[in-house]
């Protein structure tokens, strides 16, 4: 079947070379070229929806120009996948399949990106799985893809890490990471995410089905690791941005019976975006006051912050809202205030090698050929440690009381018997 598709794609080659190319001006990568096949996919309802999902939800309250979207980011990933494909000398079919996997890797995001993905994760699903569901069930999108001669199944195989090229989409130096670090740095005005993406691409090879980086690229990889850590700490985990997100999520929890994303049909799911959720919250008596606060930038204030070195404990808090809520209630009780005035937030920076299957591996070229080598880097090792933060927010007038209560509580944490894990 694949051979037939490949032959079909080859038959279309002469037509492809004469089809009209649309130039999209991107402030990060310059002009991005879209041919007629690419445009059919970009113009689908499910992809256009990404224009209405912010890349960094509510971060504009700290960095005013951070209003870019998943649409922009996805086009950037599409461009970078094309650069990888050219460098790796992929054939025409797999070049297009890789570029479409990059273009569609975020198609399954909830409104407000990772902020509301928590509602999916609690039901045992994530945005990647929702993306595959959309690819398999959205007939408009599937038709647009298959018109190009690429099988949806091959895109899914790349996204689900069943192809050698999969690391280009999800790996230590994937297009997602390269684009969002540089793009987020550009739109926030913060300079933490400056990375030489082109050098990383040029230093990459697929050897025996494994994506590797030349030892000559160690320096740029260290640059990537540092940029990533600094971006997490200074942009994504900025205390005021996280305060706004915590407040917003509290409001969503008040009406979450209306936002059961996991049970929605594909058609219902792709009808949801940042605008629909915002308007729903603003119209609901339970959550409208929270929207008013965000509109006026009246945010909870940071009362306590510490680093928690026990990875499993912090991840447990992140994955179990009832545990986080019980901690909020306990701290509020100790401070002598209502639980609605306490927010607990646990930002988590995962290590650069996201799992054993995605560890950074290096190759070396010599007269004898190419071989895999081990490389020691103190910098990579240090920034690859799990970094957990715990913050407690409250209203301005309660900061001192909540600080004392949180400090007392977390001095014995997790030995405290107040909560059950």
Number of compact structural domains in the chain: 1
Q: Considering the domain boundaries, does residue 33 fall inside one?
A: yes
**Percentage of the residues of the chain whose pLDDT score is greater than 70:** 88
Cα 73 from Cα 176, distance rounded (Å):
8
Q: Considering the domain boundaries, does residue 50 fall inside one?
A: yes
Burial 93-130 (b: 16+ CB within 10 A, else e): bbbbbbbbbbbbbbbbbbbbbbbbbbbbeeeebebbeb
Report pLDDT digits (tens) over 11-52. Answer: 454 444 567 999 999 999 999 999 999 999 999 999 999 999
Q: Considering the domain boundaries, does residue 366 fall inside one?
A: no
Tell the burial category of 318 from Cβ atoms under 10 Å away from its Cβ (0-12, 13-18, 19+): middle
Q: Considering the domain boundaries, does residue 348 fall inside one?
A: no
Q: What residue numbers bound the domain in which 176 lies?
A: 2-294
Q: What is the pLDDT of residue 13?
A: 47
Q: What is the pLDDT of residue 307?
A: 79
- Where the chain has pLDDT below 50, the residues are 1, 11, 13-16, 312, 354-357, 416-421
Q: What is the pLDDT of residue 324?
A: 87
| Cβ–Cβ under 8 Å, residues 357 and 162 | no
Q: Which residues contact 115 (CB under 8 A, 6 or more apart)?
A: 57, 58, 245, 248, 249
Q: What is the pLDDT of residue 309?
A: 56
Q: Considering the domain boundaries, does residue 115 fall inside one?
A: yes
Q: What is the pLDDT of residue 419?
A: 45
Burial 224-250 (b: 16+ CB within 10 A, else e): bbbbbbbbbeebbbbbbbbbbbbbbbb
Q: Considering the domain boundaries, does residue 55 fall inside one?
A: yes
Report pLDDT digits (tens) over 220-239. Answer: 999 999 999 899 999 999 99
Residue 28: give its domain's CATH number.
Answer: 1.10.3210.10
SS3 track for 260-318: CHHHCCHHHHCCCCHHHHHHHHHHCCCCHHHHHHHHCCCCCEEEEEEECCCHHHHHHHH
Q: Considering the domain boundaries, does residue 92 fall inside one?
A: yes
Q: Considering the domain boundaries, does residue 111 fall inside one?
A: yes
Residue 325: both structure tokens together: 């809520």
Q: Which residue has the tokens 């971006």?
A: 231
| Cβ–Cβ under 8 Å, residues 341 and 246 | no
Q: What is the pLDDT of residue 317?
A: 60
SS3 track for the chain: CHHHHHHHHHHCHHHHHHCCCEEEEECCCEEEEECHHHHHHHCCHHHHHHHHCECCCCHHHCCCCCCCEHHHHHHHHHHHHHHHHHHHCCCHHHHHHHHHHHHCCCCCCCCCCHHHHHHHHCCCCCHHHHHHHHHHHCHHHHHHHHHCCCCHHHHHHHHCCCCCCHHHHCCCCCHHHHHHHHHHHHHHCCCCCCCCHHHHHHCEEEECCEEEEEHHHHHHHHHHHHHHHHHHHHHHCCHHHHHHHHHHHHHHHHCHHHCCHHHCCHHHHCCCCHHHHHHHHHHCCCCHHHHHHHHCCCCCEEEEEEECCCHHHHHHHHHCHHHHHHHHHHHHHHHCCCHHHEEEECCEECCCCCCHHHCCCEEEEECCEEEEECCCCHHHHHHCCCEEEEEEEECHHHHHHHHHHHHHHHHCCCCCCCCCC
């Amino acid at each position: 079947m694949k051979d037939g598709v490949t032959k079909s794609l080859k038959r279309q080659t002469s037509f492809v070379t004469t089809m009209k190319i649309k130039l999209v001006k991107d402030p990060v990568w310059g002009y991005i070229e879209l041919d007629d096949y690419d445009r059919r996919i970009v113009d689908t309802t499910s992809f256009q929806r990404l224009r209405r999902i912010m890349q960094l939800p509510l971060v504009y309250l700290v960095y005013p120009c951070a209003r870019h979207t998943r649409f922009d980011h996805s086009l950037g990933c599409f461009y970078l996948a094309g650069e990888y494909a050219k460098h790796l000398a992929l054939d025409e079919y797999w070049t297009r399949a890789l570029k479409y996997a990059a273009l569609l890797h975020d198609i399954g995001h909830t409104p407000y990106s990772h902020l509301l993905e928590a509602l999916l994760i609690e039901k045992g699903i994530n945005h990647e799985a929702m993306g595959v569901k959309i690819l398999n069930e959205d007939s408009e999108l599937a038709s647009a893809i298959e018109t190009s001669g690429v099988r949806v199944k091959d895109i899914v195989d790349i996204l689900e890490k069943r192809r050698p090229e999969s690391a280009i989409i999800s790996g230590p130096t994937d297009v997602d990471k390269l684009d969002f670090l540089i793009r987020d740095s550009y739109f926030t005005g913060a300079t933490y995410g400056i990375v030489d993406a082109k050098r990383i691409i040029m230093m990459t090879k697929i050897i025996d089905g494994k994506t590797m980086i030349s030892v000559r690229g160690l320096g740029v990889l260290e640059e990537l690791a540092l940029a990533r850590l600094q971006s997490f700490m200074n942009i994504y985990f900025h205390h005021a941005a996280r305060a706004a997100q915590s407040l917003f999520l509290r409001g969503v929890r008040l009406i979450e019976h209306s936002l059961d994303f996991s049970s929605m049909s594909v058609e219902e799911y792709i009808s949801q975006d940042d605008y629909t959720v915002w308007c729903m919250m603003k119209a609901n008596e339970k959550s409208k006051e929270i929207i008013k606060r965000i509109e006026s930038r009246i945010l909870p204030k940071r009362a306590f912050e510490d680093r928690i070195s026990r990875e499993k404990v912090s991840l447990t808090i992140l994955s179990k809202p009832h545990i986080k809520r019980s901690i909020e209630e306990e701290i509020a009780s100790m401070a002598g205030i209502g639980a609605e005035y306490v927010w607990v937030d646990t930002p988590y920076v995962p290590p650069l090698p996201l799992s054993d299957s995605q560890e950074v591996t290096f190759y070396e070229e010599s007269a004898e050929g190419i071989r895999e080598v081990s490389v020691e880097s103190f910098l990579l090792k240090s920034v690859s440690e799990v970094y957990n933060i715990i913050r407690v927010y409250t209203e301005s007038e309660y900061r001192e009381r909540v600080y004392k209560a949180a400090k007392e509580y977390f001095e014995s944490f997790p030995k405290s018997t107040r909560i059950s894990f």
